Amino acid sequence: MTAASTPVVASVHPETDGWVGQLEAHPRVIRSARSLSQLHERLKEAASTQLGRPVDDINLQLNMEALLPPDTYKALITARKARNDAERARAEATAATRKALEELVSVGLSHQDAGMLVGLTQQRVSQLLVRDVHEQLPPVVDGPKATVIRGTRERPQGRKTRTDKTTQDKRAERE
């Protein structure tokens, strides 16, 4: 889901072979499916077509209020809110951690020492910091000697290494 997502609500009710859903803002848009997850996808696609927005921009909520007992529905809403809050907090924590790591490394600490201070492994520190480098690099850069792809350097074509010669020598001996 993107930051500019379009909220869409659909009412659902059970049928003998599964579920039927209807977009509340567009009552003529009705879909059916055997499972709620399948119905969710079909309604999301229908909302995307109806609104002329990409499927990933649709934030579809299934309105289950009429089907569930009040306490159960309240528990569902509370769980949804808690999960959304947790996801937002996780994103904020990752951003704050990345910023702290950048600052710690910029003043000369190693990845291992910076990780120890913030409670992460050296590998996770490297992942967080390398991700920034990858986001700054162009996807593919071609040059006469090597190809750089997302921060990795590949050996030029046609150039042999000692390992390549050994492998070729072994092949020649077998023939």
pLDDT of residue 131: 64
pLDDT of residue 7: 87
User: If you search the block for the tokens 């921009």, which residue do you land on?
Assistant: 57
Selected from 3.30.2390, 1.25.40, 3.20.20, 3.30.420, the CATH number assigned to the domain covering 6-67 reads 3.30.2390
Give this prediction's pTM.
0.53
Sign (positive or negative) of CA dihedral 133, 138, 141, 147: positive
Q: What is the pLDDT of residues 135-156, one digit of tens each?
A: 555 555 444 444 444 444 444 4
User: What is the mean pLDDT of the segment spanning 94-114?
Assistant: 93
For the record, the structure tokens of 19 come out as 């579920």
Residue 160 has pLDDT above 60, yes or no: no
Residue 158 has pLDDT above 60, yes or no: no
Are the C-beta atoms of 57 and 5 separated by less than 8 Å?
yes
pLDDT of residue 130: 83
pLDDT of residue 32: 94
If pLDDT is split at 50, 70 and 90, which confidence band does 172 have? low
Mean pLDDT of the chain: 81
For the chain, domain boundaries: 6-67, 73-136
Q: What is the pLDDT of residues 13-25, one digit of tens each?
A: 899 889 999 999 9
Q: Which of these, 79, 82, 40, lies nearest to 61 by C-alpha position? A: 40
